[in-house]
Structure 1
Amino acid sequence: MTSGLLQSETADQVVTTARTAVGDSLRSVTYFTRDDYEQLYLRDDLERDADLSTFIGHEWRGFKVAQSAYEGSELGEYRYTIRVFDNGFLIRITSEREGVFVTTDGLTIKDFEETATAISSVLEERNRS
């Protein structure tokens, strides 16, 4: 991992913005480009053992795939991705040149969860028929 991809003022601003938006549920903030990354914040109670290079590769490819797949869609321009896990969430905000992913726990995204649950139930019911 290379440090110094961002000027320290910009890195501080990214972390402060995430901290303000997420509060105590913030787990980590990572800045990335296609070729490199820098973990800007990691909460003290978490281990530094995540394979960030694999995460970055996946998130960069995932952004490109999503951007291409939905280009010209009636949904509009791609804005960000939320991934939901058993123990938290990952929010990826990406542009053509760079991105940030923020991991959280305990963040309430009730509307997303209810929608996903409802759609999953419909699909499961359809597949049983």
Structure 2
Amino acid sequence: MVTTGADELVAFLQGEAGEYLRGAVYYSPTDHEVLYLRDDLEDRYGDAELAELFAYYRDQNRKAAAVEPFDLGTDHCTVHFYDEAILFHFVQPGPSGTVITLEPEAGRDVVQFITRCLKQLHENSPQSIAAPEWLRD
């Protein structure tokens, strides 16, 4: 799977998150591509673990698309805070998406981070991300 703009996205994430960046992975309906995985995590997450993880996120993406309990517009990103990581799941139709993980210490200014990521994904991703109105300024 070729992901257009992957180098730009990773450079952006490294500039924004620095040492707190853990990983970034793009997934499509049938595959996933590790865009970046910090050296100390490569041994921890093998191909089987990543395949299982992205089967889970594809399923989450389908479930999120099927249920819209609020009339608030598009769900651009879900954020999960775990003991060892903050996980940003940028969902898109298909189901495809991008998962970015950071160290928990990076939790400051989460909204600003999500906004900047959406802009980068809009500009440097194979996903068809429609920029929200508030991002077009």
TM-score by length of 2: 0.67
Establish whether residue 29 from structure 1 lines up as the match of residue 24 from structure 2: yes
**Aligned partner letter, 1:64:** R
Q: Structure 2 unaligned segments of length 5 or more: list them.
A: 112-137
Specify which of 38, 41, 51 is matched with residue 53 of structure 1: 51
User: Helix, strand or coil for the counterpart of 1:76?
Assistant: coil
Gaps of 5+ in 1: 113-129
Deviation at 1:21, TM superposition (A): 2.8
- Indicate the percent of aligned positions where both proteins have the same amino acid: 25
Q: Distance in 2 between matches of 1:85 and 1:108?
A: 11
CA deviation map 1:69-101 (0-9, x unaligned): 126x22222111111111111111121243110
Runs of 4+ in 1 over 4 A off after TM superposition: 109-112
In 1, distance between residues paired with 2:60 and 2:7? 26
Give distance in 2, aligned partners of 1:102 and 1:111: 12
1:10 aligns with 2:8: no
Which has the larger displacement, 60-69 or 27-36? Answer: 60-69
Could you tell me whether the CA contact under 8 Å between 1:88 and 1:107 is conserved in 2?
A: no
Which has the higher relative contact order, 1 or 2, with Cα contacts under 8 A spaced 6 or more apart? 2
Q: 1:44 is matched with which residue: 26, 39, 42?
A: 39
| Candidates 80, 89, 92, aligned match of 1:92 | 89
Q: 2:79 aligns with which of 79, 82, 90?
A: 82
Structure with max Cα Rg: 1
Contact 2:24/2:34, CA 8 A, preserved across alignment: yes
Count of residue pairs brought into register by the alignment = 106
Q: How far 1:109 moved relative to its partner?
A: 4.4
List aligned pairs for 1:90-129, cutoff 5 A.
90-97=87-94, 98-105=96-103, 106-109=105-108
RMSD: 2.2
